[in-house]
Chain A
Amino acid sequence: MSNLSPVIEAKNLSKAFGSFYANENISFSIPKGEILGIIGENGAGKSTLMKMLYGQLRPTSGQIHIDGKETSLTSPRDAIARGIGMVHQHFMLAENHSALENIILALGIASFRLMPHKSVRKRLEKLCSEFGISVDLEKPVGELSVGQQQSIEILKLLYLDSNLLIFDEPTAVLSPNEIENFFTILRGLREAGKTIVVISHKLKEILSISDRVIVLRHGKIVAERTTKETNLGELADLMVGAHFERREVIASNLSAATTVFEVKDLSSIESDSRLKKISFRVREGEILGIAGVEGNGQSELIRALMNPIKYRAKGEITFCEKNVSAYSTLELRSLGMSILPENRIKEAVILDWSSRDNFLLGHQNKKEFIKNSWIQEQALGEKALAAYKEYDLRPLSLTHHLSEFSGGNQQKIVVARELWNQPKFIIAAHPTRGVDIGAIERIHLAIQDVKKQKGSVLLISSDLDELFRLSDRLLVICGGLVRGSFTKGEFSEEKVGRLMGGGQT
């Protein structure tokens, strides 16, 4: 199929932000009727590339050729006019408006006109039956399921006669059923001669849907493979950059250890019930991993565990032999819980505060730092400086704003802070997300240290390597349910992956 002339061709595309190259000399071409997968880790430059193809960013150098002609895309509108359409990871939908009005919106009528309800509906209904898409056109989009919202995004592109459809992490928020349905639609589109680009970091899905794969790393194309001729292991190695050595950590002998943290039948109260009777226990000196595709209840679980009084769920939570089902974060923290939250920037730090003030977060009730409600700046500074040494934090300054630290150093500050005073139990959610390799190593080491000091860890991550490396036991959740559990030694990418996707062992 690659004999056909390319629909779109990138020639030596580069994009620099200051002195940093987000994309460097990217060249590829996509023939008509192909599904191309683009994979890479967070920060590998996938979105920058897509933004250039969609006219949202102008390349620093290099050209884009469409149907053989050199084209400069100056805006998304420009891209749309040339038959390029994009489905963003976060849908571009107005939730209070119907699908119909969202499509009208996408027509981009800037002038003052009546909305063409009738004609749009007619054509939409035709498109729906042609591509096997079923969606309610009248209901406010916000009331529809995520899968249906995605279908509306696809309809939008079809309505605008896009020939090249770009999908940015399309499956991140979909349930396994919805993913299947989505793939069916994609295959239908390919049959109809549309060209499709799927950006993802989920290797399995890329393997099952694409015809060809491009691997990006540090802003460059490091490999291009025909999907049939590659496999999961190869792609994973290419994506990460080095053959990933799994340094096994010796599992401690845990069978006799006492339970520190226990959850019984935890279910969300809301009717959509993101959590369904989740039960587990974490023993002293144990790291319990929780694997799952994002959006399968992890966020809800974390919230319910770290602030049970606010995010009330059914079921029982026990910590240090106390029923903490109605405790606040403050009470849990004073019992010895620490939290590495999911979203560092939003939940763990304050970017325009000094690093010293950031070190105090979560410790504002410790006598060590606050005496009679006065902040003990001396003690705080000394302890923070010690953490700088221990974690090799840079820049070596307590007064620099946190925003002046790199992501890795920020996360190390959070880890150092949360591991002060030897917590009994720590919730570590995606502890190394968006962090450079060096910092990953250091953070993994720190988490293992917790264990050595008889602390327990609940590790929630979507990074299987991380989970396999650190966990003593591993639970897999999918759709808010615990689908299976493994102990160290039984971990297998295949088995865990299958459960994560909603399959059976």
Chain B
Amino acid sequence: MIALAFFISIIRMATPLVFASLGGMFSERSGVINIALEGIMLFGAFTAAFVSLSMGKELGFVAGGLGGMSLALIYGLIVIHGRANQIVAGTAINLLAMGLIPLFLKSLYDSTGGTPSLSMDQRFSNLPILFMIIALAGAWFVMKKTSFGLNVSVAGENPEALDAAGISVILVRYQSLAVCGLLAGFGGASLSLFLASGYTRNMVAGRGFMALAALIFGKWKPVPTFLACILFGAFEAVQIRLQGAEGIPPEFLQILPYLATVLVLAGFVGKAVAPKVIGIPWKR
């Protein structure tokens, strides 16, 4: 029973990560680096909590996705039409989310610390896990079996070929970013409506970057990425268990996901090859 409970706690921990890294997959496979995942999740977490407070958790969850999507599309506008450097723009989006949300909180609730706590029926007990599984299956299916998935991956691999086939690279990238924002926003929503009860300041706490790490660890493919999230979720769950206990300092568990990612990126544990034209704005 303890093992089962522990397993469930791992899955819970992994849920926001899975959403975000699947979102990141769409963006990066289409050729857009996304270090803005952190800010997109944050914004999703905030909008979800805000809507859930007044209109219920279901709409709150959807709002989280839409909030994330809107920020991702702003990011898209900056890097696709504006052709801005994606690292700079991603950093800027993270700052934007970190700066805007407290301003909204202040004028909505007169506190910069977070939203008021959600009541039991304003938050989920287990449903987001199911949503997450559906998202995973959907992402796999889309990438493997549909024309959209093909277009996304060609946009990140050989955009000239996509253009030659008469498909707009720019449109495909916007679509990918929309999907990315939706999923990462759901990731944020599952933080504020599921793992916690309400939005608290900077509650994403590096999970966006960890999702990015999982994506690389999973070599930009849905199922391996999912497994990487589970692994990272396990590190997190173990670390929470160990808190206060003597022995291994929790900091060492904390670094495992990042260390693992560095190792896989360096090809010490299988080689991760990024989409070919990732980071390069499209120009005919």
Do A and B come into direct contact in the complex, CB within 8 Å? yes
A416 vs B161: C-alpha distance in the bound complex, in angstroms? Answer: 40
Q: Is A109 a contact of B147 with CB atoms below 8 Å?
A: yes
**How many residue pairs, one in A and one in B, have C-beta atoms under 8 Å apart?**
70
Which residues of B sit under 8 angstroms from A489, Cβ to Cβ? none
A125 vs B150: C-alpha distance in the bound complex, in angstroms? Answer: 22
Q: Is A106 a contact of B165 with CB atoms below 8 Å?
A: yes
A1 at the interface (CB under 8 A from B): no
Scan A356-384; emit 1 where CB is below 8 A from any B CB, else 0: 00000000000000000000000000000
- The residues in B between 148 and 162 inclusive whose CB is less than 8 angstroms from any CB of A are 148, 150-151, 153-154, 157-158, 160-162
Which of B151, B154, B163, B164 is the most central at the interface, judged by chain A CB atoms within 10 Å of its CB? B164
A80 vs B166: C-alpha distance in the bound complex, in angstroms? Answer: 9
A112 vs B158: C-alpha distance in the bound complex, in angstroms? Answer: 20
Q: Is A110 a contact of B167 with CB atoms below 8 Å?
A: yes
Which listed residue, A88, A95, A106, touches B157 by the CB 8 Å rule? A95
* A223 CB to nearest chain B CB (Å): 31
Which residues of A sit under 8 angstroms from B171, Cβ to Cβ? 110
Known: A76-B166, A80-B166. A114 touches B146 (CB 8 A): yes
Scan A68-109; emit 1 where CB is below 8 A from any B CB, else 0: 000000011100100000001010111111000110111111
A106 vs B151: C-alpha distance in the bound complex, in angstroms? Answer: 10
Which residues of B sit under 8 angstroms from A56, Cβ to Cβ? 284
Which residues of A sit under 8 angstroms from B157, Cβ to Cβ? 94-97
Which residues of B sit under 8 angstroms from A76, Cβ to Cβ? 163-164, 166
Q: Is A101 a contact of B150 with CB atoms below 8 Å?
A: yes
Q: Is B160 a contact of A92 with CB atoms below 8 Å?
A: yes
A108 vs B167: C-alpha distance in the bound complex, in angstroms? Answer: 6
- What bracket does the count of chain B residues touching chain A fall in? 20 to 34
Which residues of B sit under 8 angstroms from A94, Cβ to Cβ? 153-154, 157-158, 161
B91 at the interface (CB under 8 A from A): no
Which residues of B sit under 8 angstroms from A96, Cβ to Cβ? 153, 157
Which residues of A sit under 8 angstroms from B162, Cβ to Cβ? 105
Q: Is B148 a contact of A112 with CB atoms below 8 Å?
A: yes
A: number of interface residues (CB 8 Å): 27
Q: Is B146 a contact of A112 with CB atoms below 8 Å?
A: yes
B145 at the interface (CB under 8 A from A): yes
A108 vs B150: C-alpha distance in the bound complex, in angstroms? Answer: 10
A107 vs B158: C-alpha distance in the bound complex, in angstroms? Answer: 16
A93 vs B164: C-alpha distance in the bound complex, in angstroms? Answer: 10
Nearest-CB residue, chain B, relative to A103: B165
A94 vs B154: C-alpha distance in the bound complex, in angstroms? Answer: 6
Nearest-CB residue, chain B, relative to A54: B164
Nearest-CB residue, chain A, relative to B149: A115
Q: Is B158 a contact of A95 with CB atoms below 8 Å?
A: yes
A483 vs B211: C-alpha distance in the bound complex, in angstroms? Answer: 56
* A443 CB to nearest chain B CB (Å): 32
Known: A97-B154, A113-B146. A92 touches B164 (CB 8 A): yes
Scan B194-207; emit 1 where CB is below 8 A from any A CB, else 0: 00000000000000
Known: A93-B158, A97-B153. A107 touches B165 (CB 8 A): yes
Which listed residue, A93, A107, A113, touches B161 by the CB 8 Å rule? A93
A111 at the interface (CB under 8 A from B): yes
Nearest-CB residue, chain A, relative to B144: A115
Nearest-CB residue, chain B, relative to A56: B284
Scan A199-225; emit 1 where CB is below 8 A from any B CB, else 0: 000000000000000000000000000
Q: Is B146 a contact of A115 with CB atoms below 8 Å?
A: yes
Which residues of A sit under 8 angstroms from B150, Cβ to Cβ? 97, 101, 104-105, 115
Known: A114-B145, A114-B146, A114-B147. A105 touches B166 (CB 8 A): no
Q: Is B154 a contact of A105 with CB atoms below 8 Å?
A: yes
Which of A80, A105, A113, A114 is the most central at the interface, judged by chain B CB atoms within 10 Å of its CB? A105
Nearest-CB residue, chain A, relative to B172: A110
Which listed residue, A88, A107, A110, A114, touches B164 by the CB 8 Å rule? A88
Q: Is B147 a contact of A113 with CB atoms below 8 Å?
A: yes
Nearest-CB residue, chain B, relative to A110: B167
Q: Is A92 a contact of B161 with CB atoms below 8 Å?
A: yes
B239 at the interface (CB under 8 A from A): no
Scan B254-284; emit 1 where CB is below 8 A from any A CB, else 0: 0000000000000000000000000000001
B168 at the interface (CB under 8 A from A): yes
- The residues in B between 66 and 97 inclusive whose CB is less than 8 angstroms from any CB of A are none
Q: Is A108 a contact of B165 with CB atoms below 8 Å?
A: yes
Known: A94-B157, A97-B154. 11 other contacts (CB 8 A): A76-B163, A90-B160, A93-B161, A94-B158, A105-B161, A109-B147, A110-B151, A112-B147, A114-B145, A114-B146, A115-B145
**Could you pull out 8 A-B pairs where Cβ atoms are within 8 angstroms?**
A88-B160, A92-B164, A94-B154, A95-B158, A105-B162, A109-B151, A109-B167, A113-B146
Top 9 nearest A-B pairs (CB, nearest first) are A77-B166, A109-B147, A92-B161, A108-B166, A92-B164, A108-B165, A94-B154, A112-B148, A113-B147
